[in-house]
Structure 1
Amino acid sequence: MARETTSFVYVTYILSTPEKVFEAIARPEITRRYWGHENVSDWKPGSSWEHVRAGGERTVKVVGKVVEATPPTRLVITWAAPGQAADPASHSRVTFAIEDCENMVRLTVTHDELEAGSDMAKTMTKGWPAVLSSLKSFLETGRGLDIFGKPKAA
C-alpha cells in the first residue's frame, strides 16, 4: 500500500538578489545567523548534506542528499530525520526556487513527499514560515528573528 503524502508551498518576496538568497540557504556561516542551524554540503548533485544545530551541541537534526543545485536559481534536496536516513521511503523533498522579480527575489519553497499526518509534516507547517520570515528579515535588515529563543520570564 502506497503511503499518503502531503506537500506545503511557501512563497516570500525578499529585497535582495538571487545570489545572496542562494548563499543564505547554502552557506553554513550565513544559515546559522538566521536559522540557528548550518546547512553543510559541497552542494553537488548526489552529495550528502546535513542540517546541524549551531552552537555548543552541534547536533545533526536533518540529513539528505543534494538532488539538484543550480546556483543561484534552484536547489533541490531530500530531507529526513537522522534515524530514518537509511530508509529512502521516509525521505521528503525540499525545492528552493529563486526568481529575480524586478528589484527583489521571489523565493518559493516547496516541501513535498511528506508522509501525511507525520510528525515531520506537522513540524514543517510551523517551521518553514518562521525560518523564511527570519531569512527575509536577515537579508533585508542584517538581523534574523530569534526563532529558537526561549520565552522570556515576565
Structure 2
Amino acid sequence: MTSDGFRPLDEKSLVEYIRATPALVSILGTEFDKLEIKEVGDGNLNFVYIVVAPSGSFVIKQALPYIRSIGESWPMTKERAYFEATALKEHGRLCPEYVPEVYYFDRTMRVIGMGYLEPPHIILRKGLIAGVEYPLLAENISDYMAKTLFFTSLLYLTTTDHKHAGEPY
C-alpha cells in the first residue's frame, strides 16, 4: 500500500474490497462465495474486472499510477481515474444510451464501478479486428459526439455555467 492508501487489487483482494463497500454490496448482494470475478484488462494501463453474482453484476476498473505493461518506472497521473469517472457521469447524463452507468468511484483506490454489458456485447476494437460490421456505428458515434460536444460547449451553456462545468477538472 502506498502512503496515500492506494493498493493494486487482484481477484482475491477485490472480494474483500467489495465486501467492505456498501455501494457495491447493494448491487451484488452478500453471497460472496458465489461471486465470479474475471480479470479482462487487455490494455497497457488498467486492471479491469468483470464481477458477476446471482443478483447483479458490474465492471471494476482500477487505474494504476504507472503504465501496467512497463511498471513503476513510467508513472501516470494519479487523478486520471477521477477525470474518467467525472466525464463518464457527465456523458452518461447526456447520453445514457451510450455510456455505462457509474455506480461507484473511490478516488483513493482509483476504482470505478460501472455497468457491465453482458455478451453478446464485445469490445468494439475486437469486433472491428474480427471483421464485424456495425451498420449503426457511424450514426451512434455521431449522436454521442454531437450531444456530448454541443451540450458541454459555449454554444449551449452560458459562460458562467461553462466555467463551472470545468471546475471538477
Q: Which one has the bigger helix percentage?
A: 2
Q: Which protein shows a greater Rg?
A: 2
- Is the pair's TM-score, using the shorter chain for normalization, greater than 0.5? no
Q: Which one has the bigger strand percentage?
A: 1
The TM-score, its normalising length taken from structure 2, stands at 0.28
The TM-score, its normalising length taken from structure 1, stands at 0.30
